[in-house]
């Protein structure tokens, strides 16, 4: 199974179990920073998030919520279905950013320092011999 197939499969599986009750949205500390979430209501926002997991366009409020996610994980504890809502949001973030080749639905930040950061971390953890081989 490829990574893309795994992401699609997990997205579809979790979306089919989600009832779009909105408890995760209500519990989320980031909703005040996501435009339109309060007006749309938690159920509608959760429905939009679920739509993104099902290859749909989502809604502006759901996309704003997805973009505002800081991975607090509070959503998972709030889910009455015991779903890993935080993982659902992670999948939704990837999907909304176009990770499977679609056009991005939310802004994607380019980290121009990504490679230097990886190398700096690697220098702290690799032996000199490994550094000579891999860096
Ligand atoms: S709390 Fe759980 S069931 Fe309810 S919308 Fe969120 S993920 Fe879906």
Report pLDDT digits (tens) over 56-106.
999 999 999 999 999 999 999 999 999 999 999 999 999 999 999 989 999
List the chain domain ranges.
3-109
Residue nearest (by alpha carbon) to ligand 1 atom 7: 85
Tell me which of 79 and 135 has the higher pLDDT.
79
Q: What's the 109 CA to ligand 1 centre distance in angstroms?
A: 27
Q: For the chain, what is the largest distance between any 2 Cα atoms, rounded to a whole number of angstroms?
A: 58
State residue 12's pLDDT score: 97
Distance of CA 66 from the midpoint of ligand 1 (Å): 14
Please tell me if the CB atom of residue 14 comes closer than 6 angstroms to any atom of ligand 1: no
Triad 41, 43, 46: Cα angle to 5°:
105
Task: Read off the pLDDT of residues 108-133 as tens digits, 9 standing for 90 and up.
Answer: 988 778 788 888 888 888 888 888 88
Q: How far is CA 109 from CA 53, 104, 106, 112, 114, in A?
A: 21, 11, 10, 9, 11
Q: How far apart are alpha carbons 18 and 11 in whole angstroms?
A: 11
Q: What pLDDT band is residue 44 in, cutting at 50, 70 and 90?
A: very high
Q: What are the residue ranges of helices labelled H in 18-127?
A: 23-27, 37-40, 42-53, 60-68, 74-78, 85-96, 114-125
Out of 85, 87, 88, give the residue to mutate to test ligand 1, the one with the largest number of ligand atoms within 8 Å of its CB: 85
Ligand 1 atom nearest the C-alpha of 79 is 1
pLDDT of residue 56: 96
**pLDDT score, position 131:** 82
């Amino acid at each position: 199974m490829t990574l893309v197939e795994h992401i699609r499969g997990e997205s579809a599986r979790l979306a089919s179990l989600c009832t779009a009750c909105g408890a995760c949205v209500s519990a989320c500390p980031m909703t005040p920073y996501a435009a339109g979430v309060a007006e749309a209501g938690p159920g509608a926002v959760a429905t939009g998030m679920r739509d993104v997991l099902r290859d749909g366009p989502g809604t502006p409020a759901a996309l704003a919520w997805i973009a505002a996610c800081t991975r607090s994980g509070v959503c998972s504890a709030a889910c009455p279905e015991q779903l890993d809502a935080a993982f659902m949001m992670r999948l939704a973030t990837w999907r909304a950013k176009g990770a499977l080749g679609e056009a991005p639905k939310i802004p994607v930040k380019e980290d121009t320092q990504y490679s230097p950061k990886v190398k700096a971390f690697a220098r702290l953890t690799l032996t000199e011999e490994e550094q000579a081989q891999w860096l």
